[in-house]
Structure 1
Amino acid sequence: MDFGFGHADDQFRAEARGWLGSHLVGPYAEWAGRGGPGSEHEGAAVRRAWERELGAGGWIGLGWDCPEGAYGSRPVSLTRQVVWAEEYARARAPGRVGHIGENLLAPTLLAHGDEAQRRRFLPPIARGEELWCQGYSEPDAGSDLAALRTVAVRDGTGYRVTGQKIWTSLAREADWCFVLARTDPGERRHRGLSFLLVAMDQPGRIEVRPIRQMSGTAEFNEVFFDGAVAGHVVGGEGAGWRVAMGLLACERGVSTLVQQIGFAAELSAVLAAAVRCGTLRDPVLREQLLSQWAELRVMRWNALRTLGAAGDAGAPSVAKLLWGGWHQRLGELAMRVRGAAAALGPVDWSAREPYALDAWQRLFLFTRADTLYGGSDEIQRNIIAERVLGLPRGER
């Protein structure tokens, strides 16, 4: 697509940069560049307050497809959404705790929800007051989401949800969870599923257990539902698969550009480390770093090409394949440029743990999962083969 910035976009950039500069102060400044992947569970109170700050400033809901001012949003053009994403990343503002509600649930409600649901849930998201998490993956239904076993049984006008979800980001901070559950036990696979909205504050009916990973962090969680009440179904009973797939399509677009800006900052830091350590003189390592730079440029052009594209079934899978492998290789390079020193860390003998991981070690360990979470590479290739190229379905 022809993607250029005009004078109005430049004015919007100045507005965004000025607002961020005047509001990223105090505790918010202390959390600059923190709270992203690998540390999403940290600084929850400060980042929640920052979410309300963003809402008060009118910076939530920029990409919503609705009239300006509807539900408290401030929809702007695609170019201005990109401008805001770029300035947010440039300012190293704290990692968002409201992005699941703003970028995943809100577009889904606008496309599939009813007016009562939009009026109930969108304004609190726009104000930064209610946070959301996603109840999709299960222990035996990760990339193969249609194999889920969580069930929801009708109870009067609502449902009772029982089952387990896993790898749930922000479950400890969230006020609500959108849950994909089976409401028709007589159906199989993607049929008989419903998309339910569940309040997380249900003591005795919902339990959240953090999952400690090899990096020492615990940003993901298990969530257990034991007869939890769900009073809202989006799109109607049995339409869960259609709604869920529509939601997953929202993960591409401007949000991928935000991610890539963060990747660029990480790559620059790895390059600087290679210069300091002298490993940039290694021709093989230098070629690998150059390849990382070139691939990142390709990812940006691909994201811009598909921005706002409708009906492109393969775009999310292609994007996931590109960035998952790229970021994993960057984690490996972050270790390689430092040589043997990469295996060492600062020792704090007063701490319970024998040693603490530095930022690069955490990056390396976290990125081992990049080609798995959000849909493994194998699943993404199957989607592209079957839904885009029209190849025969492989044996399951």
Structure 2
Amino acid sequence: MDLNFTPEEQAFRDEVRAFMRTDLPADVAAKVKGGKRLTRDDHVRWMTALSKRGWLGVNWPTEYGGTGWSPVQRHIFEEECAAAGGPRIIAFGVNMVAPVIMKFGTAEQKAHYLPRILDLTDWWCQGYSEPGAGSDLASLKTRAVRDGDHYVVNGQKTWTTLGQHADWIFCLVRTDPQAAKPQEGISFLLIDMKTPGITVRPIILLDGEHEVNEVFFDDVRVPVGNRIGEENLGWTYAKYLLTHERTNIAGVGLSKEALRHLKTIARDQLKNGRPLIEDPIFRARMAQIEIDLMALEMTNLRVLADVQAGGAPGAESSILKIKGTEVRQAITDLARRALGPYALPFQSEALDGGFNGEPIGPGYAAPVAAHYFNMRKLSIFGGSNEIQKNIIAKASLGL
């Protein structure tokens, strides 16, 4: 792999930077840079700007309205978005269910759902985890019983990220409880969140954020035409989706921007009268994170190149998921340590736009505790890191 950017790639970077200056809403970028909470409208305005430019489907082929960008272009775009303060694209529609529809959906499903994802008609959420089925996802118990041209769905999903905003949810449901293996009796359904019988209840996280939810299904009728692929083969489609999710979790661009912010904090904070960044122990910790991030970036580019060539991310996505989450957690942990006592108080209200209260410590201290709390989840969602290590051991090492 050539590690130098070509003149064409440098020109593309300039194009992305120009777009960020003109089309990224300044108030949204300020919220992201300041660690403030984003509203649904903030996300929609940003993704609408991308959609109008034709840049929302960054990993989509051109035949479906995507950019057709190379892996390097996608990498540059992600990096420049993070540097400019662009919110991360909400992945559930454009980066998760869309690839499944493209590969396994019918022509009618592709023609209906894909344009609605690109023009933001539909906001999607994910219905995988349940109270008794997280990393052991095949233990899910939400039932879908065939009744003529419909399935009748009963059960519960949990940790449903941004489900309070969603128009649609893609769900794994059990359609054959008698299957010899639990993975063999699962189907993949697309469900309209406005369907009678669906209830969404908030779960408030440690950082005070309403980010996730419980979703209950009580005799929810779903047309059979909303099933992706064949009945009882949903586990195959779910695994395909999860490899894309785990690749996206790597978040190289976000980690690089977070590391730059950490260096700013380390230059500003003092230890024994000298900038913290000059402390040899702290510098060594920060250097190790930067080395790990550089290795992650190269690995991410290799995986994206394989996908561009027509493949799908396999066990490599598990490597990206593990290392990407470890790097992001390490950065937030080191930022918390750098701020010392200023990171201890947690002002949840200081994360809201328009907060006019008295901050505790430097202005950049308010979101540090919240980010630290929130990043604890990264090693769990998308399949816990322990599960990812098992996948690597079996698929890559033959253990």
TM-score (structure 1 length as normaliser):
0.87
1:233 and 2:241 matched:
no
**Shift of residue 27 of structure 1?**
4.7
Where do 5+ consecutive residues of structure 1 fail to align? 392-396
Counterpart position of 2:245: 251
1:43 equivalent in structure 2: 39
| Contact 2:75 2:301 (C-alpha < 8 Å) held by counterparts | no
Query: Aligned to 1:164, what secondary structure does the other structure show?
Result: strand
Give the equivalent residue in structure 2 for 1:196. Answer: 189
Question: Among 61, 64, 74, which residue is 2:57 paired with?
Answer: 61
- Say if 2:82 and 2:257, in contact at 8 Å, map to a contact too: no
How far the C-alpha of 1:119 sits from its partner, in A, is 0.3
- Say whether the 8 Å CA contact 1:169–1:221 is kept in structure 2: yes
Report the secondary structure of 1:308's partner residue. helix
Q: Which residues of structure 2 form unaligned runs of 5+?
A: 271-275
> What amino acid is aligned across from residue 21 of structure 1 in structure 2?
R
3-state SS in 2 of match to 1:370: helix
Report if aligned partners of 1:208, 1:223 keep a CA contact under 8 Å in 2: yes
**Inter-partner Cα distance in structure 1 for 2:32 and 2:269:** 26
Q: Distance in 1 between matches of 2:69 and 2:227?
A: 29
Cα RMSD (Å) = 2.7
Distance 2:348 2:367 in 1: 14
Name 1:18's counterpart in structure 2: 18
1:374 aligns with 2:371: no
Distance (Å, rounded) in 2 between the aligned partners of 1:383 and 1:268: 32
Shift of 1:13: 3.0
Shift of 1:294: 1.1
Structure 2 equivalent of residue 394 of structure 1: none
Is it true that 1:217 corresponds to 2:217 in the alignment? no
Match of 1:89 in 2: 82
Distance 1:347 1:295, change over 3 A: closer
Provide the residue aligned with 1:165 in structure 2. 157
User: Do 1:132 and 1:175's aligned partners in 2 also have CA atoms closer than 8 Å?
Assistant: yes
| Cα shift at 1:320 | 1.5
Distance (Å, rounded) in 1 between the aligned partners of 2:221 and 2:79? 40
> What secondary structure, in the 3-state scheme, does the structure 2 residue paired with 1:302 have?
helix
Matched, 1:78 2:71: yes
Secondary structure of residue in 1 paired with 2:219: strand
Contact residue 30 and residue 85 of structure 2 kept, 8 A: no
Deviation at 1:176, TM superposition (A): 0.6
- CA offsets 1:311-360 (integer angstroms, 9 cap, x no match): 653111111111222222222211211223322356989x9xxx998211
Once the two structures are TM-superposed, the CA of residue 14 in structure 1 deviates from its matched residue by 3.2
CA distance in 2, matches of 1:364, 1:252: 20
Aligned length: 378
1:138-168 per-residue CA deviation (whole Å, 9 max, x = no partner) reads 1111011111111111122221211111111
Would the aligned equivalents of 1:33 and 1:94 in 2 still touch at CA under 8 Å?
no
Cα pair 2:24 2:49 within 8 Å, conserved: no
Q: What code does the residue aligned with 2:261 have?
A: A
- Greater fraction of residues in helix: 2
Distance 2:163 2:349 in 1: 30
CA distance in 2 between counterparts of 1:318 and 1:297 reads 14
Contact 1:166 1:223 in 2 (8 A): yes
1:17 Cα deviation (Å)?
2.5
Deviations along 1:59-90, one digit per CA (max 9) or x if unpaired, are 1223213xx3x344332333322232222222
8 Å contact 1:164–1:222 — kept in the other structure?
Answer: yes
1:47 to partner: Cα distance: 1.8
Mapped to 2, the partners of 1:348 and 1:100 lie a distance apart of 28
Letter in 1 for 2:374: F
1:387 aligns with 2:395: yes
Deviations 1:277-303 (A, max 9, x none): 223343222211111111111111111
Structure 1 residue 12: Cα displacement: 3.2
Instruction: Indicate how the Cα distance of structure 1 residues 217 and 380 shifts in structure 2: closer, same or farther if over 3 A, else same.
Output: same
Residue 314 of structure 2 corresponds to 313
1:382 to 1:167, Cα distance in 2 relative to 1, 3 A: same
- SS of 1:230's equivalent? strand
- Displacement after TM superposition at 1:193 (Å): 0.6
Partner Cα distance (1:83, 1:334) in 2: 25
For residues 136 and 348 of structure 2, what CA distance do their matches in structure 1 show?
41
Structure 1 partner of 2:200: 208
